[in-house]
Structure 1
Amino acid sequence: MALKRMKGEEQMKKVFLVDFDGTVTKKDAVYMMVEKFAKEGWQYYNELWEKGEMSTEECAIETLKLMEVSEEELFKFIMENVEIDDHFLEFLGVTKEKEYEVVIVSDGYDFIIEAVMKKYNLKLPYYSNKMWFEGGKIKVAFPYKDKECDKCGMCKLNILKEYRKKGYSVAFVGDGYSDFCVVEHADEVFAKDVLADYCEEKGIKYFRFGSFKDIIRYVKR
């Protein structure tokens, strides 16, 4: 039986922090970009990053040295090839009805996120690493990096902590290595692929999903 709220009692605010590459998008857009435009050798740096032996920043700097692409080519590639989960737009509709906030948290790049949001006419707040072109070369910056931790370029755990300070209940949705730290602190976890395996290994309570259709069912319940 649902309890009625007393007069003056506020319902706790809720935010969904949602990973971007491989979660909102069907495939990891950064991986797609590198696979398409980087010369041989990038796989070595990617393996080191997956093992935790190289930070996102270090991996990015070395990988980008192997990239050969113009700003126009990259934008066109993203617009033509990067697709979002078939049910993500419906998920946004359901969370809006519930008055839940949705924020993108990505260890990828704003250039890609902005292009995808333009393609699908989306306007969502996001936190990510920065990428731009200067003199025909790709430049990157990491404004949300944790000063005491080298692993990720964008610290998702720090974003979670900021929302907690504002009185939010935090649900996290993700799939990969850059999500490991944050799921140990979220109120609810929705995981797939490598992240789901990590939650199993660490005994972290989570809801396994294949697409946002599964999360929609959960939210509607």
Structure 2
Amino acid sequence: MSPTSEAPEIAILVDYDGTIATVDVTDELVRTSASERQWLDLELAYRRGDIGSRALLRAETRLLPGTAADLPDLARDQPHDPTFVPFVEYARAHGMTVEVVSDGLGFFVAPALATLGLGGLPVYSAALGYTPTGPEITFPNGHPACQVCGTCKRQRVLLHQAAGRHVVFIGDGYSDQYAAAHADTVFAKAELATICERRGLPFQRWRTFDDVHAWLTQAQARGALSGPVARPYVCGPETAR
């Protein structure tokens, strides 16, 4: 395929915890708000597959402080990959769609992006708010039928593919596995890279967004990005049919 006007549009979906933020902010918030045993028991149940991320996040929300004012400063002062902002600027300048997909607590993502000058970047995450009785979490970006994940990252991939876009997914962890199984190009590091290797999913290794930038520039120059490709479902209500 040559780099012509027929090249597909590109949608870039980016995880937040451990990807844009260089720490897992959700994990750190829960660990500082609860006992190590409480956090570890929930995390192990999630990793064993006993519960999905939706149940995990509900349980973690109950461990948070009773008022927003008592949340640790980590939610406000998160370290970010310094190459993310120039990467987004590059992608937007070249007509690519960029959005953040997070399956964590989510409430800190949009404010953090605003501090980086990216307040208009679309964010798909859970919604956590405080009521007179304490914190409550809802899942406006969950799958309409499947109750496993808090935010259905796979659904975002499929929606962009249905519009004819080549979907690039960038992530680092366990909650990224379903999106990685369906995206057209996957950038994986840390635990997500291990999952991709174990399951035979093709992926590109990355350390910073400069790596993604360089790969995309070369792939576009070669005309190497094809239209979306359908893949077998690996999660969701369809697997029960």
Q: TM-score, normalised by structure 1?
A: 0.89
2:30 paired residue number: 34
Instruction: Give the count of matched residue pairs.
Output: 216
C-alpha distance in 1 between matches for 2:141 and 2:95:
27
**1:79 offset after TM fit, Å?**
2.0
2:156 paired residue number: 159
The answer to whether the aligner puts 1:200 opposite 2:197 as a matched pair is: yes
C-alpha distance in 1 between matches for 2:57 and 2:105:
10
| 8 Å CA contact retained: 2:61, 2:137 | no
The answer to whether the aligner puts 1:22 opposite 2:18 as a matched pair is: yes
Distance 1:97 1:203, change over 3 A: same
C-alpha distance in 2 between matches for 1:4 and 1:119:
36
Matches within 5 A, 1:48-59: 48-59=45-56
Structure 1: stretches of 5+ with no match in the other structure? none
Structure 2: stretches of 5+ with no match in the other structure? 219-241
Runs ≥4 residues deviating over 3 A: 2-5, 147-150
Matches within 5 A, 1:1-221: 3=2, 5=4, 10-40=6-36, 41-68=38-65, 70-74=67-71, 76-80=73-77, 82-122=78-118, 123-135=120-132, 137-221=134-218
C-alpha distance in 2 between matches for 1:185 and 1:3:
24
C-alpha distance in 1 between matches for 2:3 and 2:94:
17
**1:13 offset after TM fit, Å?**
1.0
Distance 1:159 1:117, change over 3 A: same
C-alpha distance in 2 between matches for 1:4 and 1:26:
34
- For 1:32-71, what per-residue CA distance to the aligned partner results, in whole angstroms no more than 9, with x for missing partners? 1111222451220111112221111221222222222531
Q: TM-score, normalised by structure 2?
A: 0.82
**1:178 offset after TM fit, Å?**
1.2
**1:100 offset after TM fit, Å?**
1.1
159-168 or 64-73, which deviates more: 64-73
**1:29 offset after TM fit, Å?**
0.9
**1:108 offset after TM fit, Å?**
1.6
C-alpha distance in 2 between matches for 1:180 and 1:49:
13
210-219 or 64-73, which deviates more: 64-73
RMSD (Å) for aligned C-alpha atoms: 1.9
Greater share of residues in strand: 1
Percent of aligned positions that are identical: 28
C-alpha distance in 2 between matches for 1:33 and 1:169:
34
